[in-house]
């Protein structure tokens, strides 16, 4: 910072604004971190899914997008995944929320992934 009689001029202000803008864009696109977090929680969900034949566990999958991590189970080949996870009281099927529990149990691991990603992005912010 340089003081003059006309005011204050910040050296490196343009560079700081540019890197802050880029950091904001990078924070909006955490696809790699979302994918890694999904793999951590999804892997645990796959391990802890109710097993009769193993089809439900094999059908657990995850993905990461620019804005979120997603863990899914079920589909045409495993239509019972939703009722197993969320329950179906009318059919006397109790909930077994294995995906939710896996996400909760692995929170320290996937939270560390996000923390590292954010720290890396913020570490690239340059001022002067």
Q: Rounded mean pLDDT of 79-83?
A: 96
Write out the residue range of the structural domain in which residue 112 sits. Answer: 28-123
| Mean pLDDT score of the chain | 86
| Structural domain contains residue 1 | no
Q: How many domains does the chain have?
A: 1
pLDDT in tens, 39-52: 999 999 999 999 99
Is the Cβ–Cβ distance between 50 and 74 less than 8 Å? no
| Structural domain contains residue 97 | yes
| Structural domain contains residue 13 | no
Query: Per the structure block, which two tokens stand in for 8?
Result: 């204050």
| Structural domain contains residue 7 | no
More confident residue, 27 or 117: 117
Range of weakest confidence among 6-10, 14-18, 23-27, 78-82: 6-10
| Structural domain contains residue 114 | yes
Dihedral pair phi/psi, residue 51, rounded to 5°: -115, 120
| Structural domain contains residue 12 | no
Q: Looking at residue 128, what is its pLDDT? A: 46
Q: What pTM, to 2 d.p., does this model score? A: 0.78
Range of weakest confidence among 48-52, 107-111, 115-119, 124-128: 124-128
| Structural domain contains residue 79 | yes
| Structural domain contains residue 41 | yes
Closest CA to 38 of 67, 66, 65, 71: 71
pLDDT band of 113, cuts 50, 70, 90 = very high
Is the Cβ–Cβ distance between 64 and 33 less than 8 Å? yes
pLDDT at 13 over 70: no
């Amino acid at each position: 910072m340089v003081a003059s009689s006309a005011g204050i001029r910040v050296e490196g202000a343009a560079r700081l604004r540019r890197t802050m803008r880029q950091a904001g864009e990078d924070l909006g696109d955490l696809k790699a971190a979302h994918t890694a977090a999904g793999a951590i929680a999804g892997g645990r969900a796959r391990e802890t899914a109710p097993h009769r034949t193993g089809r439900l566990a094999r059908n657990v999958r995850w993905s990461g997008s620019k804005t979120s991590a997603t863990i899914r189970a079920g589909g045409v080949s495993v239509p019972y995944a939703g009722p197993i996870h969320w329950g179906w009281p009318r059919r006397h099927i109790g909930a077994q929320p294995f995906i939710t529990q896996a996400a909760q149990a692995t929170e320290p691991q996937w939270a560390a992934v996000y923390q590292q990603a954010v720290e890396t992005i913020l570490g690239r912010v340059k001022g002067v």
